[in-house]
Chains A and B, each alone.
Chain A
Amino acid sequence: MKALKEPMTFVQGWRFLTIGALLYLWIAHEAKTGSYLLILLLLVLASLRWRFGRLPVWTAFADAAVCLAFVPFSDIGVYGLALPIFEFALKGKWAVSLLFFAGLLVPSLPSSLLFWLYVQAFLFGAFACTALGHQRDYKREADEQRKARQELERIRLELLEANRAVSRQAELMERHRISRQLHDHLGHDLTGASLALQAYEYVSDPAEARELLREVGNRLERSTTRLREAVHNMTPVTPIGADSLAYIARNFRHAGIADIRFRQSGDMQRVAPHMWELLEACLKEALTNIVRHSNASEAEVELQASETIVRLRIGDNGTVHPGDLSGSGIRGLQMRARALGGSLSRGWDNGFTLVCVLPLEQGGGIDETADSRR
């Protein structure tokens, strides 16, 4: 049924109806049997057009030639000129189309009827030309839009993947740096202390033994100092991981929500850095929405990390139903959550609830043998 609503259907219908009209003229006016050939030839051309969709524009000259060939034998040839008029108007060749109005010059026919027949053929052809042209343009534009959208989608996915690759790379580099630091500063001293203790067992002179013990003590003290320094150096000042979430939640208390409770459970180390970024964004977005749109007095933030997933739940006790608050912020976060293989969902049952679930990679953390440079 959808095919019936295309402009092309009406064009084909017009062609066959006109041939039907010519046939009716033939039947009603007792024309000679020979001129039935005219109608059949026009029918052949019309069915060629129907079968092949679009024929080149010069084929309309074939229609015209057939009609003109029969003009000496039958009036129907002159009526049949409406067909080439239509075809040329359909392809946008107005001048050639108007040329066939010369059929009006044939004296023996009711020229007023003929005139209006030609005019309606011309006008319908012109209208169909513009309609089909517009249809073509719309289709082309829709195709281009779709292509651009798919391109954008692809780039977005690549960015998310790059994000993940970068966080992997960063963690690997950090690990490498820490191992080097430990090796450089601590390994040296601890190995020396251990060797000195071993030597102590074989030394008989008490003075030398005391000397060795002091050596061990010195080295251990240096190691402890170095370790404390290294840890202190590596401990970030800015909160990361679960601490950052708690920090954010605490800060929002000043923004208008009376009480925000933060709870966490599970091994937070298993969560990858790029996931923390998403969880922070989710928390900020949810709390911003609560402050801006809801009348809640308290909110609750729950962070759980299990064997396979990490789950962040933000809920409030507000009663305002925001309707459809699917702002672009939430949509973007949903897209990112999906790109990481997780999900972000909202509910409005008891106040507003936002739940973000992300899957954790098995084996706990980064696999160093995995090729992250893909």
Chain B
Amino acid sequence: MTIFHFALKRSFGNRANLLFLTLFPIACIFLPSGEGWPFLPYGYQYFGIFILFASIRLAAIMLEDRAKGVVKRLAVAPVSHLRYISQNLLAYLCIMVVQCAVVVIGGLLYGQQLYQPAWLMLLYISFSAASLAVALAWISLYRNKEISFLVFMPIVFLVAILGGIMMPVDIFPEGLRRLAVVFPTYWLAKGLDWIAFGESIGPFLLVNGVLWLYAVVFVIMGSARKIE
């Protein structure tokens, strides 16, 4: 578990990352509620965007490894590629789980209306997994950490808008509404709606299942070993 421990340490080694990962979740707790829509307070509605940004910042640490030539050394070390990726992703997922816990528990303590906090936590964790997997697949396309982050930014906004995080999917025209299903953010939005209104557990399990399947697909795509 050496790689796991070092991935944890490195995630906070960068001062900017440290500030970003600690301040933003706390800020999300205090954002106000909306009128009518969204059903959860703004901070909880937009937390998905934070998760996407956090996951690219964390996954980019692996990109740094490739840029610095660490991957070449790992290729001759007795560490399998699977172990390397799985321990890194596990470390980042642990960090994200902590963020989710901070936000949910902080919200409960602050008195935000969270409806079903336990399920909300599960939803956030599933989305974090999917988001980390997307980030992993994204960085496999790039060599430069900064550029991968800069190009990811507009995509995050697009995906957030088209998935229905920043405005409800119902106001979209027919074609866009059906197309939104492709984006993981749509499923997060659906899950958030269920948290506010849902009764039976079936649709919620579907949402989580879909998010974990997305995680599986993107991890498979992003796990090809690249030495350079």
Contact = CB atoms under 8 A, between A and B. Distances in A.
Q: Do chains A and B touch in the complex (CB under 8 A)?
A: yes
Interface of A: 23, 26-28, 30, 33-34, 36-37, 40-41, 43-44, 47-48, 50-51
Nearest to A47: B220
Nearest to B224: A51
A26 B181 CA distance: 10
B8 interface: no
Interface string B194-228: 00000000010010011001101100110110000
Contact of B220 (A30, A34, A36, A44): A44
Contact of A37 (B179, B182, B213): B213
B206 A33 contact: yes
Given A37-B206, A40-B213, A40-B214, A48 B220 contact: yes
Given A27-B179, A47-B220, 20 more contacts: A23-B182, A26-B181, A27-B181, A30-B178, A33-B203, A33-B206, A34-B206, A37-B206, A37-B209, A37-B213, A40-B214, A40-B217, A41-B213, A43-B213, A43-B217, A44-B220, A47-B221, A48-B220, A51-B221, A51-B223
A44 B206 contact: no
Nearest to B221: A47
Instruction: Name the prevailing secondary structure of the A interface residues.
Output: helix
Contacts of B181: 26-27, 33, 36
B185 to A, nearest CB: 15
Contacts of B179: 27
A44 B210 contact: no
B144 to A, nearest CB: 22
Contacts of B209: 37
A252 B95 CA distance: 91
B129 to A, nearest CB: 14
Nearest to B177: A27
B126 to A, nearest CB: 13
30 contacts: A23-B182, A27-B181, A28-B178, A30-B178, A33-B181, A33-B203, A33-B206, A34-B206, A36-B181, A36-B210, A37-B206, A37-B209, A37-B210, A37-B213, A40-B210, A40-B213, A40-B217, A43-B217, A44-B213, A44-B216, A44-B217, A44-B220, A47-B217, A47-B220, A47-B221, A48-B220, A50-B220, A51-B220, A51-B223, A51-B224
A74 B214 CA distance: 21
Nearest to B181: A36
A240 B55 CA distance: 84
A33 B181 CA distance: 9
B24 to A, nearest CB: 30
Contact of A50 (B182, B214, B216, B221): B221
B184 to A, nearest CB: 11
A129 to B, nearest CB: 24
Interface in B175-195: 178-179, 181-182
Nearest to B190: A33
Contacts of A44: 213, 216-217, 220
A34 B209 CA distance: 10
Contacts of B213: 37, 40-41, 43-44
A206 to B, nearest CB: 97
A196 B4 CA distance: 101
Interface string B147-186: 0000000000000000000000000000000110110000
A40 B181 CA distance: 11
A21 B82 CA distance: 32
A116 B73 CA distance: 52
Contacts of A40: 210, 213-214, 217
Contact of A27 (B178, B214, B224): B178
A48 B223 CA distance: 11
A44 B133 CA distance: 13
A59 to B, nearest CB: 13
Contacts of B203: 33
Contacts of A30: 178
A327 B220 CA distance: 56
Nearest to B209: A37
A225 to B, nearest CB: 78
Nearest to A48: B220
Q: Closest 3 CB pairs between A and B?
A: A27-B178, A40-B213, A47-B220
Contacts of A34: 206
A27 B179 CA distance: 7
Contacts of A50: 220-221
B44 to A, nearest CB: 23
Contacts of B220: 44, 47-48, 50-51
